[in-house]
A and B are shown apart, each in its own frame.
Chain A
Amino acid sequence: MTDVLNPPVHIESPDHGHDEHHGPTGILKWITTTDHKIIGLSYTVTAVIMLVIGGAFAEIIRAQLASPNGNLVSLAQYNELFTMHGSVMIYLFAGPFAFGALANIIVPIQIGAPDMAFPRLNALSYWLYLTGAITMLSGFFVSGGAANFGWVAYAPLSNSINTPGAGADLWIGGLLLTGFSAIFTGVNLCATIFYLRAPGMTMFRMPIFTWNMLVTAILILLAFPVLTAGLVMLYCDRHFGTHIFSVAGGGVPVLWQHLFWFWGHPEVYILALPFFGMVTEIIAVFSRKPVFGYKGMIFATLSIAALSLGVWAHHMFTTGVVLLPFFSIMSLLIAVPTGIKMFNWIGTMWRGQVWFSTAMLMALGFLFTFLIGGLTGIYLASPPLDFFTHDTYFVVAHFHSVVMALVLAGMAGLYYWGPKITGYLLNEAIGKWQFWTLFIGSQVFTFPLYILGLEGMPRRVAVYAHDAQWKALNDLSTLGAVIIGVSTILFVVNVVVSWKKYPAGDNPWDGHTLEWFTTSPPPHHNFYRLPQIRSERPTWDYNHPGHQALHHGQHDEPSQPAPEAPVS
């Protein structure tokens, strides 16, 4: 224990402290590394590039829809664009950014581990992801173009008769590769969190972000194999003469939807839970309070995960072949743990000291945007209302509210944890501009889409010539998309402007968790020393003795804090 409490003498630099790690440098180091932080950084850069590519597709889509008979792109190109927009954003940005980039970097540090449990598997995950991304996007360079059957690839539209091109096969192949990447990351996260926690880091002392990543990893392991199996079946139908999804051979097209959504709805939470975790950490740190209802928060996460495995058919209400009431009540019930989270976030800020850093503003932007996306999701859990709005822009607006909230949360994560990895802060002034453009842009972009959906505009249409009145609302939405584009440019500008300019120090935000105890960036195996871990906020406890979280029942006695221990 004395070692733990008394830091060793100052160490000049990580390299000197770890002489055994002399290895390749430069690009060779990047290619051969098994360090979770460098792999995580590769993930971050790749995922942000995917965000920019997917965003560019979105801007073209919105430009096309700015006029009822738009002819910026052809009907065929339009189908490719929205298919690849959805695929890039869901498969190549949101998931990998959450569990490849931030979890990879942060989870081992948060639990006091030197690296992931299987560092080489971790490297393999990244290379599978990069290969998968390149494979999927290369569809644009083959004859017939990229996949064009929507990101959900419903059979029988996705069979070899209706979609003969190689772009579809590249889409399947790319998705298989990124799917395996996700599965391996899931295995790795589970093993890391179960086996590599520092002494004292019990399960109920793990930060919420780590908890959410554990639940996400379990969901990945339950859901992704189903998608993988479905994709193999689809490929066999396309090339090996099976008839799994074709009626002519006695197959069932709807089976694809079952397989896809059995993965697809847990996937929604695989995407969302990591970002919920980020927001939880950020709100707590920037309110200078512990996470309100810490255990309730974990319970809510677990119940969201459990429920998410039983709601897939709410995507299929209008097929007419699923049991409506069961999937309706299961879907409605997810609102309950989600609501618990929302109130816990508010409770965390309550009587705190809310500090409006860019990261916190982004997290607050997440709260508002996610509230809208969450409330509109409740409608869709009701079959009659789903019949009404299914495949209209209302649904598009709903899930874009959710994913724009996730983008806000992801940006919060970058502003919050970026300094830990790079050692440098981003510019706060540009950050605030970025926040306001992203936040306002998101609302201006989604709000008209809700109305368009209610007025009957279907999704995935390149023209809406019969109802030119929809132009005004579409133009407004396009304006929102442009504002979001500006915010993305501001982010890139900020990275360039702030490059190695504002040293962060080890603990710029007065953080709670272990990553703020080590240096920025952390040394090769993350820690030279560790504090005692006696709560989920070891760094806070170390820096603010006498300000531990109040026990249950102490909530009403703020005037009687625990006896002040002398600050060391």
Chain B
Amino acid sequence: MLTPALPPQGATVRARRWRRLRRAVALPLAALALSGCTVPSFGASPGATSSSKSVYHLWQGFSIGAAVIGALVVALILYAVLRYRRKGDRIPAQSQYHLPLEVLYTVVPILIVFGLFAATLVVENKEVSNPKTNVVVDVNAFQWGWKFTYPGTNALVYGQTTQNPEMVIPVNTNVRINLSSSDVIHGFYVKAFNFSRYALPGVLNQFTIRAQNTGTYFGQCTQLCGLYHSLMWFRVKVVSQSDYASWIATFNNPTAEAAAKAASKTTSQQTASLVPSKPSSTKFGR
């Protein structure tokens, strides 16, 4: 791509070299702007939620930039070491500075960085926004398992190491997740969501997901949490809205109601014991 092999002999050569360099840095920017659905995946996948798709496109944009810049740098290195490999004892010209070039490779990366930052902000603002919704799931992580409760209903899913408790959520609906931990820090991570968030003791982490495809997705704790960290699994089952309603309804019997009440009480006791200075009703209220 860049072959300034000619010995520089004046302004025209220098201007040509400038033009070539400009073209080389314009490429990644243009490629970023063009990132769409025909772009390679660069190892990622679009995932199952609306934000996972935005993250995927951001990933593609970053990857194109990285690929172009990486290829440019590799080409320059290879060219330099092959073209200028030692052929004798001649001492080469001892040139040390080229201010315009140095300014160029300072300013252009700054511009690229701000471009990447702008793209980041767009996706990030979308991803961390918490629109109002009726479907809320309280996710409680503990050593070593997960408990999913649904405020306002009797639904309760609980599972320990390797039991794969299943969090059921409706498709095409904003689902608010209230994430908490009963002991150490855990990581709530679903690969198909292209998203993870820590479950922190004493902190209620909230985020919203909007699944766009039904299916069952694997999730796992990603933050080291002790002995059985490797086996702290769960699943997310995305179902149609009617299936979701009927799933919730299966818990409408006295046994399930009692279980849900007891579980909810345990959770608030556990979390409350972690935050004695703040009443649990405001921090973990339901």
Contact = CB atoms under 8 A, between A and B. Distances in A.
Interface of A: 75-76, 78-79, 149-150, 154, 156-157, 162, 247-248, 250, 252-254, 287-296, 318-321, 324-325, 328-329, 332-333, 335-336, 339-340, 342-344, 346-347, 349-356, 364, 367-368, 371-372, 375-376, 378-379, 382-385, 387-388, 390-392, 450-451, 454-456, 458-464, 466-467, 544, 547-556, 558, 561
A387 B81 contact: no
Interface string B84-128: 111110111111111101100110011001001101110110011
A388 B55 contact: yes
A340 B110 CA distance: 11
Interface in B211-234: 218, 220-231, 233
B198 interface: yes
A159 to B, nearest CB: 9
B127 A346 contact: no
Given A346-B76, A353-B86, A544 B230 contact: no
B59 interface: yes
Given A384-B55, A384-B58, A157 B225 contact: yes
Contacts of B121: 325
Interface stretch (B166-174, B238-246, B273-281): B273-281
A551 B164 CA distance: 68
Contacts of B96: 289-294, 549-550, 552, 555
Given A456-B191, A458-B189, A555-B97, A335 B109 contact: yes
B201 interface: yes
B73 A371 contact: yes
Nearest to A371: B73
A78 B273 CA distance: 32
Interface in B177-219: 183-185, 187, 189, 191, 194-198, 200-203, 205, 207, 218
Given A371-B74, A458-B189, A351 B95 contact: yes
Given A248-B273, A321-B200, A388-B59, A156 B77 contact: no
Interface of B: 7-8, 14, 43-45, 51, 54-55, 58-59, 62, 65-66, 69-70, 73-74, 76-77, 80-81, 84-88, 90-99, 101-102, 105-106, 109-110, 113, 116-117, 119-121, 123-124, 127-128, 183-185, 187, 189, 191, 194-198, 200-203, 205, 207, 218, 220-231, 233, 273-277
A391 B58 CA distance: 19
A375 B43 contact: no
A164 B76 CA distance: 54
Nearest to B233: A466
Contacts of A549: 94-96
A561 B275 CA distance: 74
Nearest to A292: B96
Contacts of A561: 93-94
B58 A156 contact: no
Contacts of A367: 77
A157 B224 contact: yes
A368 B223 contact: no
Given A329-B113, A351-B84, A388-B44, 5 more contacts: A154-B224, A288-B86, A549-B96, A551-B97, A555-B97
Contact of A371 (B70, B127, B207): B70
B77 A387 contact: no
Contact of B95 (A157, A353, A558): A558
A62 to B, nearest CB: 16
Contact of A318 (B62, B77, B187): B187
Given A290-B94, A379-B66, A460-B229, A455 B54 contact: no
